[in-house]
Amino acid sequence: MKSFDAIVIGGGQAGPFLAARMVEKGMKVALIERKFLGGTCVNAGCMPTKTLVASARAAYVARNSAVYGVNIPGEIAIDMKVVRARAETVTMNARNGLIGWFAGMDGMTVIYGHARFEDPKTVSVNGETLTAPRIFLNVGARPVIPDLPGINDIDYLTSTSIIHLDTLPRHLAVIGGSYIGLEFAQMYRRFGAEVSVIEHGPKLASREDEDISDAIADVLRSEGIDIHTGVSDIAFARSSDRITVATDSARIDASHVLIATGRKPNTDDLGLDAAGVISDKHGYITVDDRLATNVDGIWALGDCNGHGAFTHTSYNDFEIAAANLLDGADRKVSSRILAYALYIDPPLGRVGMTEKQARASGRKIMISTRPMSRVGRANERGETKGFMKVIADAETKKILGAAILGIEGDEVIHGIIDAMNAGTTYPALQWSVPIHPTVSELIPTVLGDLKPV
């Protein structure tokens, strides 16, 4: 049996950085990863997909360049092999950077294999047994594959496998109208494929307010994406050259099908029972406000604990754990103000409460909206789709939430994120003097238009 000061299971966004911090403190750490360092973000999520989004935007801008007085003769062609290779290069550079970083770190042992608990202080991997007084789980999540008629008869794609395509689908059917599905839908439409989105719920991006969801649908429809919502029945049939996707309202002849119906934690094969670690009915490991499980000496970080399914929330889990365990701090998950983005074009930046949540809270609230068509920078760039929306507490004057669907919305939202984290009231933020011409300069204007509802 090999002994360590700490064992980290999973090489995603939380575990490796925590392992590095512990090594800096002179600890002996084992980092166990069953596949690739970097987790979903580096290998199958943010980095490759946003690289693909960038290629798709380049194609879109090239096709529409005449609007700006730039004439490109001939048809805009897409070389999917180059597109794929570019995304793979970005992934490999990041992954190899992690490999090199850890290889030069005394006190760090990286083990590739599948770890399972033997007891609360012991795990087995590759036939070896390892023990440590502290064990951190950072095992991530994977795509959910629903049990739909005919699904096992087709070669469906997931968010992990689609990034390896080096040919262009004739017609991509996306099953699921949430964040992952919508990003791939617009991306492949811009590459030149016909695209249909099929969503069980009554609207796309169901987490958002109805006006935001409707605006997202308008953006996608304006680019020729076929959207079906409120679909109750889906079945698949395979023929020699196509996949028939039959719903209660439509029949789609697709060449490829992307299943984007959510994700589930990679906790079902960890041997949690042997350690006595409790998880909920969905497989998410139950943790307290400081990310500790019910078993002393075991913590769960990142997607597998159900407290945010984003790279930045996973990294923040690392920050919380490191601050509390290594720096004598007392940081809590409940102090985190959730923010995220949807990377369609234009992007959606989101923070805090939706209008629906704010109304349900019983607070007296104020709301302000402003179309991007009234933003100078958006007009100058010729990108006026979407709008800004801010929700505030009428009594405390604190900002409760915001949504910015529009040009640079994923960047502009950080002005609101910072204000909320600093506890700044909206009247104080109104007095800031932003740079002109920018999209962010409209934040004080939007705040000035807040009205009680």
Q: Which residues are catalytic?
A: 436
What is the full DSSP assignment across 75-120? -----HHHHHHHHHHHHHHHHHHHHHHHHT-TTEEEEES--EEEET
Structure tokens that stand for 330 in this block: 């007392």
Closest CA to 37 of 92, 117, 81: 92
In whole angstroms, what is the distance from residue 141 CA to residue 137 CA?
12
In whole angstroms, what is the distance from residue 179 CA to residue 220 CA?
13
In whole angstroms, what is the distance from residue 65 CA to residue 113 CA?
49
In whole angstroms, what is the distance from residue 69 CA to residue 340 CA?
35
| DSSP category for residue 284 | P
Q: How far is CA 99 from the centre of its chain?
A: 24
In whole angstroms, what is the distance from residue 298 CA to residue 295 CA?
6
In whole angstroms, what is the distance from residue 341 CA to residue 53 CA?
14
Residues 6+ apart with CB under 8 A from 388: 368, 369, 370, 372, 375, 402, 403, 404, 405, 406, 412, 442, 443, 446
**Percent of the chain as helix, strand, coil, to the nearest 5:** 35, 25, 40
Long-range contacts of 47-51 (CB under 8 A, 24+ apart): 47/87, 47/90, 47/91, 47/94, 48/87, 48/88, 48/90, 48/91, 48/163, 49/87, 49/159, 49/163, 49/183, 49/184, 49/187, 49/343, 50/343, 51/86, 51/87, 51/90
In whole angstroms, what is the distance from residue 311 CA to residue 309 CA?
7
What is the full DSSP assignment across 398-443? BEEEEEEESTTHHHHHHHHHHHHHHT-BHHHHHT----SSSSGGGH
